[in-house]
Structure 1
Amino acid sequence: MTGFSRRNFIRSASTILAGTALPGALHAIPRISANDKINVAAIGINGMGWTDLSAMLKHPEAQCVALCDVDKNVLDKRVAELATKGIKVKAYHDYRDLLSNKDIDAVIIGTPDHWHCLQMTDACAAGKSVYVEKPIGNSIVECRTMEAAQQKYNSVVQVGQWQRSQQHFADAIDFVHSGKLGQIRLVKAWAYMGWMKSIPVVADAAAPAGVDYTTWLGPATKRPFNANRFHFNFRWYWDYAGGLMTDWGVHLLDYALYGMKAQFPKSIMAAGGKFAYPDDAAETPDTLTTVYEFDGFNLQWEHATGIDGGPYGRDHGIAFIGNKGTLVLDRGGWEVIPEGNKMEAVPRQKKMDDGVFLHTKNFLDVIKSKNLGQLHAPIQVGAHVAVNAQMGNIAFKTNQKIHWDAANDRFQEQAANEYLAAKYHNGYSIPRIS
Structure 2
Amino acid sequence: MNNSRRSFIRSASALVAGASLLHTLPLRAIAPSDKIRIGAIGINGMGWSDLTALLKNPEVEVVALCDVDKNVLDKRIAELAKQNINVKGYADYRKLLEDKSIDAVVIGSPDHWHCLMMTDACSAGKDVYVEKPVGNSIIECATMVAAQQRYNRVVQVGQWQRSQQHFRDAINFVHSGQLGQVRLVKAWAYMGWMKSIPVVPDSPVPAGVDYKSWLGPAETRPFNANRFHFNFRWYWDYAGGLMTDWGVHLLDYALIGMKSSNPKSIMAAGGKFAYPDDAAQTPDTLTTVYEFDNYNIQWEQATGIDGGPYGRTHGIAFIGNNGTLVLDRGGWEVIPEKGKMEAIARKPSVDNGLNLHAKNFVEVIKSRKMSDLNCPITAGAHIASFAQMGNIAFRTGKKIYWNEGKQNFTDSDANKLLAAAYHNGYKIPKIG
TM-score (norm 2): 0.96
Alpha-carbon distance in 2 for matches of 1:191, 1:386: 16
Verify: 1:207 aligned to 2:205, yes or no: yes
Contact 1:267–1:401 under 8 Å retained in 2: yes
Q: How big is the shift at 1:192?
A: 0.3
- 1:155-174 equivalences under 5 Å are 155-174=153-172
Separation (CA, whole Å) in 2 of partners of 1:29 and 1:286: 45
Instruction: Check whether the contact 2:154–2:365 (CA below 8 A) recurs between aligned residues.
Output: yes
* Letter of the structure 2 residue corresponding to residue 352 of structure 1: V
Query: Counterparts of 1:258 and 1:421 in 2: how far apart (Å)?
Result: 26
Select which of 27, 47, 50 maps to 1:49: 47
Q: Displacement of 1:341 after TM fit?
A: 1.3
**Equivalent position of 1:220 in the other structure:** 218
Query: Any idea what SS the aligned residue of 1:224 has?
Result: coil
* 1:56/1:335 CA distance change after superposition, 3 Å: same
Counterpart Cα distance in 1 of 2:108 and 2:8: 27
Q: Which residue of 2 aligns with 1:346?
A: 344
Q: Deviation digits for residues 200-229 of structure 1, max 9, x if unmatched?
A: 000001110000000000000000000000
> Paired residue for 1:364?
362
Q: Give the RMSD, CA atoms, in angstroms.
A: 1.4
Matched with 2:64 is: 66
Structure 1 counterpart of 2:423:
425
Letter in 2 for 1:423: A
Match of 1:97 in 2: 95
Q: Is the 8 A contact 1:333 1:349 kept in 2?
A: yes
Q: Does 1:9 align with 2:14?
A: no
Q: 2:126 aligns with which of 125, 128, 131?
A: 128
Report how far residue 29 of structure 1 moved: 3.4
Instruction: After TM superposition, give the deviation of residue 7 of structure 1 in Å.
Output: 9.2
Conserved 8 A contact 1:29-1:370: no
Which residue of the partner structure matches residue 234 of structure 2?
Answer: 236
- Report the Cα offset of residue 238 of structure 1: 0.3
Distance 1:282 1:29 in 2: 44
Cα distance in 2 between the residues matched to 1:369 and 1:242: 35
Counterpart residue type for residue 150 of structure 1: Q
Aligned partners of 2:123, 2:368: CA distance in 1, in Å? 17
After superposition, what is the alpha-carbon deviation per residue over 1:330-373, rounded to whole angstroms, capped at 9, x for unaligned? 00000000011100111101001000000000000000001000
Q: String of CA shifts for 1:143-168, please: whole Å, max 9, x gaps.
A: 00000000000110000000000000
Q: 2:394 — aligned with what?
A: 396
Q: Is the 8 A contact 1:268 1:395 kept in 2?
A: yes
Displacement of 1:25 after TM fit? 3.9
- Return the offset for 1:430: 0.2
- Report SS of the residue matched to 2:37: strand
Provide the C-alpha distance between the structure 2 equivalents of 1:211 and 1:414, rounded to a whole number of angstroms: 39
8 Å contact kept, 1:190–1:302: yes
Q: Is the 8 A contact 1:274 1:287 kept in 2?
A: yes
Query: Which structure 1 residue ranges, 5 or more long, are not aligned?
Result: 1-5, 14-21
**Matches of 1:30 and 1:363 in 2, distance apart?**
16
Distance in structure 2 (CA, Å) of the matches to 1:353 and 1:433: 38
Aligned to 2:17: none
Identity %: 71
Matched residue, 2:107: 109
Shift, 1:12, TM fit: 7.2
The superposition leaves residues 376-397 of structure 1 with CA deviations (integer Å, 9 ceiling, x where unpaired) of: 0000110010000000000000
2:299 & 2:7 partners in 1: Cα distance?
Answer: 30
Aligned-partner residue type, residue 277 of structure 1: Y
Whole-angstrom distance in 2 between the partners of 1:8 and 1:400: 24
Matches within 5 A, 1:372-383: 372-383=370-381
Alpha-carbon distance in 2 for matches of 1:25, 1:155: 11
- One-letter code of the match for 1:292? Y
Distance 2:425 2:371 in 1: 37
Question: Is the 1:68–1:91 contact (alpha carbons within 8 Å) kept by the matching residues of 2?
Answer: yes
SS of the aligned residue for 1:337 comes to: strand
Where 1:262 maps in the other structure, the secondary structure is coil
Verify the 8 A CA contact 2:148 2:377 in the aligned structure 1. Answer: yes
CA deviations 1:36-80 (Å, max 9, x no partner) are 010011000000000000111111011100000000000000000
Contact 2:7 2:261 in 1 (8 A): no
Preserved contact between residue 112 and residue 136 of structure 2 (Cα < 8 Å): yes
Q: Quick one: distance in 2 between partners of 1:186 and 1:24?
A: 40
1:26 positional shift = 2.0
Q: 2:135 aligns with which of 134, 137, 145?
A: 137
Deviation at 1:30?
Answer: 2.7
CA contact (8 A) 1:12 1:380 kept: no
Partner of 1:319: 317
| CA deviation after TM superposition for structure 1 residue 23, in Å | 7.2
1:168-212 Cα distance to aligned partner (Å, 9 max, x none)? 000000000000000000000000000000000000011100000
SS in 1 for 2:40: strand
Distance 1:269 1:394 in 2: 9
Distance 1:243 1:8 in 2: 23
Q: State the AA in 1 paired with 2:308.
A: G
SS in 1 for 2:342: coil
Deviation at 1:10, TM superposition (A): 2.4
The separation in 2 between residues aligned to 1:321 and 1:24, in whole angstroms, is 42
- Matched residue, 2:251: 253
CA distance in 1, matches of 2:279, 2:236: 12
